[in-house]
Amino acid sequence: MDIQTSKIELAKVILDIENSSLIEEIISLIQSKDVLTQNQKDAIDEALYALQNEEGIPHHIVAEETKIRYSKYFQ
């Protein structure tokens, strides 16, 4: 689904909402996503830099470590 189709689908869903407090929550969520603190921006830049320099940890290793550490949740 392309971005324009996704936007139309989102608009349809929002137009069907009858709960005003839910609409206010959605508006607040969307507006909060538009603004990042400088610390958040710096953390994102640092993470992107690490990934570009192949300093990240591969997903399969993180998944295995998580399964070991939290084994009671993976039964």
pLDDT tens digits along 10-57: 999 999 999 999 999 999 888 887 678 889 889 999 999 998 998 888
Domain segments of the chain: what residues?
3-73
Would you mind telling me the total number of residues written for the chain in this entry?
75
pLDDT tier at 1, thresholds 50, 70, 90: confident
Q: What is the separation, in whole angstroms, between the first and last Cα of the chain? A: 35
Predicted confidence at residue 36, as pLDDT, reads: 81
Predicted confidence at residue 46, as pLDDT, reads: 93
Query: Among positive and negative, which fits the CA dihedral 57, 58, 61, 67?
Result: positive
Alpha helices per DSSP H over 1-75: 3-15, 20-33, 38-52, 59-69
Q: Is 58 in contact with 65 (CB distance < 8 Å)?
A: no
- Give residue 75's Cα distance to chain centre: 27
Predicted confidence at residue 51, as pLDDT, reads: 87
